[in-house]
Structure formats: C-alpha cells, structure tokens
Amino acid sequence: MDVDFFAEKILILDFGSQYTQLIARRVREAKIYCEIHPFNMTLEAIEAFSPKGIILSGGPASIYDTDAPFADAGIFDLGMPVLGICYGMQFMTHLRGGVVAQSGDREYGNATMTIRDDRDLFHGFEKDAEWTVWMSHGDRIDQMPEGFEALAGSKNSPVAAMADTSRRFFGVQFHPEVAHTPEGPKILANFLFHICGCEPSWTMASFVRRTVEAMRAQLGNERVICGLSGGVDSSVTAVLLHEAIGDNLSCILVDNGLLRKGEARKVVEVFQEYYGIDLHLVDASELFLGSLKGVTDPEEKRKIIGREFIRCFEKKAAELGSAKYLAQGTLYPDVIESVSFKGPSATIKSHHNVGGLPEVMNLKLVEPLRELFKDEVREVGIELGLPRELVMRQPFPGPGLAIRILGEITPERLSILREADVIVLDEIKIAGLYEKVWQSFAVLLPVRTVGVMGDERTYEHVIAVRVVDSLDAMTADWSKIPYQVMGRISNRIINSVKGVNRVVYDISSKPPSTIEWE
C-alpha cells in the first residue's frame, strides 16, 4: 500500500497574498497535498489538521498596521517546521522578537540574491552564486530574531532568507511560488522533503482511491442526483461518484435547446452508453425557447434560463424518487474564495449553473472535487478513462448559446450560430490551438450588413469570432491567432452557413470587455 497523501500534508495560512493559490499549486505539483486556511485558523483546528509543516503566505499588510493579520503565536510551539514567505517572514520575525523595518520604498520585481548557506532550504544550490528571485515587499528584516541566521541576501534585502535551523523555522523575503523565481520549486521542494520530511504521495490515482472510499462511507445506500452538462467538472464528478456508488447515482441532463450542435447526443454516448451511468435526458428545448421568445435583455435571459432549469431538474428528480444528495462539481478555488479572509483577488465570477438548487430541493450537497484545482480535475478525468476531448473541453456557459445570440433567440438564429460555431471550433482544432486558447466561439450579432454574392446583393447576418487567452477567466486577452486561421474560419462560415455574409474578429480584452458578449 502506498503512502496516504492525507498523512503527508502541508498547511498554508493565508495572509491575503494574491499568490497564495500559487503556493498551493507548487506544493501540489511536488505531489504533496496541502490546504489553504485563513491566517486566524485556531490552534486546535491546526492540531486536528495535523500537517507536517506550515507555510505562512505573503500579504498586502505591514506588520505595523493596526489591523495587521496575526496568526496564533502557538504555531511556533507545535514542533513543526514553518516557512514564512514575505509578510509571513515578517510576521515570524516580529513575533519572535526580531525587528521589521518599515521602508518607504517598495521593492518590486526581479532581484539578484546571493546564497551564503547551502544547507536545508538551499540544499543543492551553489554557495556564493547569484540567483534570480522575485521580490514584492515594502517592509524588510532589520534584525533577525534570536537563534536565526541569514541564509541569503540581496542588495535591498540583506536578509533575503533566514533560518533557525534547530527549530526548523525558515523565512524568505522573495516569492518562491511565482514563475519569476526560476529555482522556486526547488526551494519549496527542499522545505517539503528535506525539512518537513514529506513523502510525495499526492497523485490523482491516490485521490480517486481515497475519494471513492470516502464517498461510499458518506453516502451509504442513499440516492444521489447529479446535473450533468457535459462540462469537465460535472463529468468528472459523475464518473467519480459512479465509481463509488454505481446505480445509486442518477444523472440529469437538461437539454435547454441552447447547447452546441450534437452536444446532448455526445453526452449520452459517453455517460449512458460507455459508462453505463443512469442518465436521464430531459428534452426541454421547446419549453426554454418558448419562455425566451421575444426576450432580448441578457440578464432577463439568464434569469429565465436559471428558473426553467431548476423547474425541469426538480421535476425529473421528483420522478426519479427520493434522493438525499445533490452532487456538484465545486472546485478548490471556489472553496478558497469563500474561506480566505480577503480572497486572492477580486471576484468577478458569480455564475453557478445550478445556483439555488440544493436549497430549493432540500438536498444535501456532495462535492467530491472540492479539494482540486482545475488541472487536477482534468487529470482525475484521464485517470477515470474519460475521453481527452471531454477532459480538455473549453468552458461553456450555463446559459449556453443564449448569451451568444445578441437580441432575440429564434430557432433560425440558433441554427445559424450552431453551424458557425462548429466551424470555429473545427478550424481552431485543425490549427492545433484548441487546448492552447482559453475559449473560442462564434457570436451572432443583431445587425445585418450588405454583401454581394454572385451578381446578387445580400443583406444578411454578421458572425463575430471570439478567441481569448486566459488563466482563470478573471482577466483575458484576445488571442493573436494567425491571420490564415481567421481567413479559413471566415471563408468557411460565409461559404457554408446560409444567412451570413460577414465575419468579424473580436479584439477586446477583459477588462473592460467580458469574454462572453452578454
């Protein structure tokens, strides 16, 4: 039996840095399980969590601010290794009797650091050599606490890294978690493996094993309902639960008539025919399109779709009998957003496809992916044998094509958009860009333009093509795809989609635009 990842975990206390999630990413990439908790987590809770080491994140505050975040000082008496990063290091210094100097100047950007001690944190590094690190701080360490020694220095931060080796307390002024610190992963790995003595154990295979067991224990013989959209998160949730509880899982796919071409069919093929999951397809196209008739306001569209979705879902669930649980594909970033004390960055996203469902239906939630980042979910999907095409799928909004048809949604306009959308995706795939860009899709505009086809004047629809690069959908840039690819998309749409005589490319970034047009 291999090592249980849950016995090898690291606790990250969040002091509000925009990089806290990155620390977690790096730790997980080193195959160590970790969780982010708010800085004020109680000592009892920390002891109950029982990590092998603690990382104190950076944060925007100065230790001298009146409302500066302080963790429980007891963390230094647990006998556990602690690594303080930036503010975390300053907090450690302040608390242990050192002096943090308030500095008027912010040091921000690349810095050159000289390592003076090549043990522990800098195990495997060349002594006295220079290393590039990323700094972003105002205050700095003026006097280290008793028992600490400087391990490295830079021009602006004489104590760029420090340690009390006997107690296994470490501090770094720079950010090892960001890509601008090229050797950052090695430094973090030294903390995890050499200092905390963790063993790499966080793999998606181990996650699947543990989660399947945990789900069986939690759910017993109860029935679970899962809304399946064909997106990555709900797909992986469904397959994982199916692995755990088999036929006690029932999935519902509501075809709202706003899906892309052939999408509902594909979901049925994979989940019902391949996995043998109890899947119920509710064809509600007419109902949705009926309710959306004449509606042009984007928010109104969203509300109607949300309402009808809940209605359809509830009705089907009632037909299926008494379920106690609703499965949802909540991911770790959503969990962190709701527990972090300030959150890593401003939240713009407020979309939840099944928002309101659990309350309305009086169901308990089961969220097997709530510990995972998106790329980990994809790995789990691969582990469970889901087709790569599905696992690597670009995000698709809950309200579907409704928010990509500007103006009224009619069967004719839906059909135009569906055909154009197939072409955009097809050409993006042919060009090898599908997994490189964040999203690529077509939008149908509410205007007509004049064109000429053969000898005839035309007066027809315009399709906008939207391709964006992004890391998390919070910000996005329009993608600089090759002109040839744009050209092929445009030619194919105009030549084969009846009713379209013009194609334009959207060159707006988010902010101030958004990814979707509505």
**Closest to 224 (Cα-Cα) out of 210, 245, 254:** 245
- Round to whole Å and give the CA distance between 257 and 260: 9
Q: Which residue has the tokens 């931060």?
A: 157
Of the candidates 157, 234, 353, 440, which one interacts with ligand XMP according to CB under 6 A? Answer: 353
**Backbone phi, psi, residue 480, to 5°:** -85, 65
β-sheet bridge partners, residue 99: 143
Q: Does 473 bind ligand XMP (CB under 6 A)?
A: yes
Of 94, 175, 242, 461, which is the active-site residue?
175
DSSP code for 268: I
Q: Does 400 bind ligand XMP (CB under 6 A)?
A: no
Of the candidates 302, 311, 370, 448, which one interacts with ligand XMP according to CB under 6 A? Answer: 302
Take residue 340 and report the two structure tokens written for it. 């972090």
351 in active site: no
- Round to whole Å and give the CA distance between 393 and 387: 10
Q: Does 69 bind ligand XMP (CB under 6 A)?
A: no
352 in active site: no
- How remote is the C-alpha of 515 from its chain's centroid? 16
Cβ of residue 515: shortest distance to ligand XMP, in angstroms? 3
86 in active site: yes
For the purposes of burial, counting CB atoms within 10 Å of the CB of 509, is it exposed (0-12), middle (13-18) or buried (19 or more)? middle
Q: Which is nearer to ligand XMP, 159 or 465 (CB)?
A: 465
Which residues, numbered 487-516, are part of the site for ligand XMP (CB under 6 A)? 510, 514-516
Q: Does 397 bind ligand XMP (CB under 6 A)?
A: yes
User: Of all residues in the chain, what percent are helix, strand and coil, respectively (each to 5)?
Assistant: 35, 25, 40
Of the candidates 53, 81, 88, 398, which one interacts with ligand XMP according to CB under 6 A? Answer: 398
Cβ of residue 442: shortest distance to ligand XMP, in angstroms? 13
**Backbone phi, psi, residue 209, to 5°:** -60, -50
Cβ of residue 257: shortest distance to ligand XMP, in angstroms? 16
Q: Which is nearer to ligand XMP, 196 or 305 (CB)?
A: 305
Q: Please count the residues of the chain.
A: 518
How big is the site for ligand XMP, counted in residues (CB under 6 A)? 13
Cβ of residue 327: shortest distance to ligand XMP, in angstroms? 17
Of the listed pieces 42-50, 85-93, 215-223, 392-400, which binds ligand XMP according to CB under 6 A?
392-400
How many Å is the maximal CA-CA distance in the chain?
88
Of 8, 34, 35, 86, which is the active-site residue?
86
Which residues, numbered 137-166, are part of the site for ligand XMP (CB under 6 A)? none
Of 177, 371, 379, 383, which is the active-site residue?
177
Cβ of residue 395: shortest distance to ligand XMP, in angstroms? 4
For the purposes of burial, counting CB atoms within 10 Å of the CB of 211, is it exposed (0-12), middle (13-18) or buried (19 or more)? buried
Prior bond of 511 cis (ω within 30°): yes
Question: 3-class DSSP state for residue 240?
Answer: helix
Residues with a catalytic annotation lie at 86, 175, 177
Which residues contact ligand XMP (rule: CB under 6 A)? 302, 351, 353, 395, 397-399, 439, 473, 510, 514-516
